[in-house]
A and B are shown apart, each in its own frame.
Chain A
Amino acid sequence: MLLDQFNFHYISGWTAVASWRWIANDENCGICRMPFDGCCPDCKLPGDDCPLVWGQCSHCFHIHCIVKWLNSQQVHQLCPMCRQEWKFKE
């Protein structure tokens, strides 16, 4: 930076603003058909209270939706989209 110029201005404080959204491979949750920007039908507000989860098959759902789905499966726990065995992506 050039400090020799007499009319030198620089920024000493910055309050920036950013918004966040989920990185998902689809617009809507494949289980409840609600947008990922929204929340699952059981929740009222999107955001941290209704997070998304990804499986190793790279499919993504509201956590509440996929847990409900997995609980309803008696034998094999499969991804509802691709029928592969469901494993949470680490």
Chain B
Amino acid sequence: MPLSSPNKISLTEQPKVDEIRENKRKRNDENNPSPLKRARELDDPANMTDSQRKPNFSALTTPNNGITRHSSPLSNNKPGAAKKLVIKNFKEKPKMPENFQQETWRKLCEAVEAIHKSCSIRYSLEELYQAVENMCSYKMSANLYEQLKLVCEAHVRTCLEQFKADNSDYEQFLKLLDFCWQAHCRQMIMIRSIFLFLDRTFVLQNSTILSIWDMGLDLFRANVISDKVVEVKTVDGLLRLIERERNGEAVNRQLLKSLLRMLSDLQIYKEAFEKKFLEATDRLYAAEGQQLMQERDVPEYLHHVDKRLNEETERLLHYLDQSTKKPLIACVEKQLIDQHLPQILNKGLDNMLQENRIGDLMLLYQLFTRVNHGQKDLCSMFAVYIKKAGRMIVINNENDPDKDKEMVQKLLDFKDKIDNIIDVCFGKSEKFVNAMKESFENFINQRQNKPAELIAKYVDSKLKAGNKEATEEELEHLLDKIMVLFRFIHGKDVFEAFYKKDLAKRLLMSKSASVDAEKSMLSKLKQECGAAFTSKLEGMFKDMDLSKDLSLALKPYMQNLDVAGLIDLTVNILTMGYWPTYTPMEVHLPPEMIRYQEIFKKFYLGKHSGRKLQWQPSLGHCVLKAQFPSANKELQVSLFQSLCLLLFNTGNVLTYEEILTATAIEESELKRTLQSLACGKPTLRVLSKKPKGRDIEDGDKFYFNEEFKHPLFRIRINQVQMKETPEENTSTTERVFHDRQYQVDAAIVRIMKTRKTLSHNLLISELFNQLKFPVKPTDLKKRIESLIDRDYMERDKDNPNNYHYVA
């Protein structure tokens, strides 16, 4: 290949060319150094040595160089025709001046001393550099190094004298030291620049010899700082400066920084300074922590700690060595936080939580996260607080009804507050969330049944029509929050019983605010407790739907019978098992109504054979057209209310006893009914009573109120009976306990069936595991007795503590 031949030639030629160039350059350098090149070499000696050692092979690869080489006299020959080139020795060997070494060293020594005295140097730096290089070239490096070291050491020693003599105050001393150190550094840099060639050749080749810079440091360390007096004075001075800064004074940070840098440069920062510094810090903050814990309240204290930590971090940024960071911060944390963990928590946490001090709590969490156990301790104290505060809300020893009324709202607010604190202050930490849940569950179940009942009633109050406080979304949100509380409750059956009772009222009185909200609540309960829990409630909704269809079918039936008269009848048919049990009541209805009842009965039983209907008058309600002297009104009233009002068609005055016999409504029920008609809001009194008063007494007389006026045409007169009677309440609670018996029985039989034989204690503990509501062991014993009586199980003949399952 023709192209390859020039390459071959250049390869053989190259060393020779380079040799010549090299020689040329060396000579040039010695005789006539270009100032530009010198300057570069002074700046960047590495570059120089590099280019000197390596022949420049870049010519091989750079095509441009190839071209120029072709034009040079050596390589412009044709390929293959290489000429021989003979290099002859110098005719005379160059000699060295006789006193070369002494002379040169004198020059250098003079220069070094001038540098030490900070006067100007007589010779140019170039010349001095040259001198060093020459000396090194003639193998005088070791000697030169030793002599330089001696000169420097002598100078450093003179420095020491002034420190020993110096008796001024420590700040003055530090300044002097700093000045001296700075000067020393400057001088050493200068000296190194002059002796750079020595540094780069002789020192580099001998690993045991310190570089000139390091030698300078070593001399300073060995001769100045290692002097006990100077060292102690320096470190003490630094510590005193820092202490003054910690006490709030402004100090010369530059001085601190420079001297601490000196200590680390001299590699005595750790032994000489850091240890003492940390000890001093430890002492200071131990004392401060003790004192401030006593004097200040906790938030103030925490802010102080935060301030201290920030200060120390700033100190690290400004003058301390980074290696001190860990031990220093750890020391502050230990003395100011770790040592006082229990005190901070006992003294301040409750107040901060009580007063919802978000900022302080956030700080508390941040500080506590820094130390071991901090979070854990905080978390457990947090749990203790929730239990304590929660118990205050839940427990009501005087059974004050007003307090109970507020309980659920308070619980919701409390939960919101705690959630907010966990979110904002405690970084949404799972540990805290779990502690919160556990604590809520703990305190809410400290009082049996009542919280469940009150939550059910709270839901009722929100789902009832006429509750215009909330939009659909707000209501939905509220229900979600209530479900969270509900989750904590152990006695969910109590909730179900009361919820069912209230739901029945809402459905039957068509008082429900929104079907959507009802359904949404139902699905939430289903999700939470499973389908079995809500199946009865769903059955109630199903009954309502069936009843609606039934009423639609009733209309044409009535028309066919030609009795489509004055009354528009709808009937809600309840399946017994779904609904709460209602005590049946017999009341006297007007003949017209009885006729309607009979028609419906026939209609219904025609559709469903084998059934019997039980009317529930206490749940019915009517629309009553009433004529007052002022205007005609449409009253929406309960069946009992309308029965009473209808009596006034026949006379204007009636006594309580007359009403009682005419309607046959149960007495307490009747009293409430009359109360709602005669003692309600003044604008809603359709009847007036003599004597006046809030309560209905025997012998009271009732008059039809002819002055009745109301702006609206349709008026709803609420029943007082909407308020739950104590009997109703206790009967609901009793029913819950009654239902629980069956659950206990079922659980016992289930366990015995699998185990066949079991001791009493094991059976009881197994039961506690399975039953989801609180039970007393004595109740369990009763159920076991009852099951033995009914031959589900028997006692062991020899050991009465063992039971056998009877198949």
Taking Cβ atoms with an 8 Å cutoff, the residues of A that contact B are: 2, 5-23, 37-39, 44-48, 51-52, 54, 60
Contacts and interface: CB of A to CB of B under 8 A. Distances in A.
A45 B704 contact: no
Given A11-B623, A18-B615, A19-B616, 19 more contacts: A7-B706, A9-B627, A10-B646, A11-B646, A12-B623, A14-B567, A14-B622, A16-B639, A17-B616, A18-B573, A18-B616, A19-B576, A20-B575, A20-B604, A20-B613, A22-B610, A45-B539, A45-B577, A60-B610
Contact of B649 (A7, A12, A38): A7
Given A7-B704, A12-B623, A18 B649 contact: no
A52 B646 CA distance: 41
Given A7-B652, A20-B611, A22-B610, A13 B628 contact: no
Interface in B676-715: 704, 706
B572 interface: yes
Contacts of B704: 7
Contact of A37 (B510, B577, B639, B706): B577
B203 interface: no
A23 B576 CA distance: 13
A14 B539 contact: no
Nearest to A2: B649
B596 interface: yes
11 contacts: A7-B648, A11-B642, A13-B622, A16-B600, A18-B571, A20-B575, A20-B608, A22-B610, A45-B578, A47-B539, A60-B610
Which of B575, B634, B704 has the most A CB atoms < 10 Å from its CB? B575
Contact of B572 (A15, A37, A54): A15
A46 B573 CA distance: 14
A30 B281 CA distance: 89
A38 B575 CA distance: 11
B536 interface: yes
Given A16-B570, A17-B620, A11 B610 contact: no
A40 B577 CA distance: 13
A7 B628 contact: yes
A7 B705 CA distance: 10
Contacts of B642: 9, 11
B579 to A, nearest CB: 7
B572 A16 contact: yes
Nearest to A20: B611
B610 A52 contact: yes
A54 B609 CA distance: 10
Contact of A12 (B613, B625, B648): B625
B575 A47 contact: yes
Contacts of A11: 566-567, 592-593, 622-625, 642, 646
A44 B530 CA distance: 13
B570 A14 contact: yes
Contacts of B611: 20-23
A6 B629 contact: yes
A51 B652 CA distance: 51
Given A7-B706, A21-B611, A12 B574 contact: no
Contacts of A54: 610
Interface in B612-655: 612-617, 619-629, 634, 639, 642, 645-646, 648-649, 652
Ranked nearest first, the 3 interchain pairs of A and B with the lowest CB-CB distance are A13-B623, A46-B577, A17-B619
A20 B125 CA distance: 121
A5 B704 CA distance: 13
Contact of B573 (A10, A12, A19, A22): A19
Contact of A21 (B612, B622, B629): B612
Given A11-B642, A12-B566, A13-B568, A20 B649 contact: no
A10 B566 contact: yes
A15 B620 contact: yes
A84 B15 CA distance: 131
Interface string B538-579: 010000000000000000000000000011111111111111
B574 A20 contact: yes
Interface residues of B, number: 57
B493 to A, nearest CB: 16
A14 B610 contact: no
Contacts of A2: 649
A46 to B, nearest CB: 4
A19 to B, nearest CB: 4
A18 B592 CA distance: 18
B721 interface: no
A17 B572 contact: yes
B622 A15 contact: yes
A51 B508 CA distance: 25
Given A19-B573, A20-B613, A46-B577, A9 B539 contact: no
B572 to A, nearest CB: 5
Contacts of B508: 15, 17
Nearest to B596: A14
A9 to B, nearest CB: 5
Contacts of B574: 17-20
B570 A15 contact: yes
Contact of A44 (B535, B597, B604, B649): B535
B96 interface: no
Interface string B663-680: 000000000000000000
B532 interface: yes
Contacts of B569: 13-14, 16
B582 interface: yes
A36 B648 CA distance: 44
Contacts of B608: 20
A72 B253 CA distance: 102
Given A16-B570, A17-B571, A9 B577 contact: no
A60 B649 CA distance: 48
A22 B582 CA distance: 17
B568 A12 contact: yes
Interface centre among A9, A21, A38 (most CB of B within 10 A): A9
B577 A20 contact: no
Contacts of A7: 626-628, 648-649, 652, 704, 706
A17 B610 contact: no
Contacts of A38: 577
Contact of B575 (A5, A10, A15, A48): A48
A23 B612 CA distance: 6
Most chain B Cβ neighbours within 10 Å, of A9, A11, A17, A46: A17
B531 to A, nearest CB: 9
Contacts of A23: 610-612
Contact of A14 (B535, B577, B620): B620
B181 to A, nearest CB: 92
Contacts of B600: 16
A38 B577 CA distance: 7
Nearest to A19: B574
B639 A45 contact: no
A8 B633 CA distance: 11
Interface string B278-293: 0000000000000000
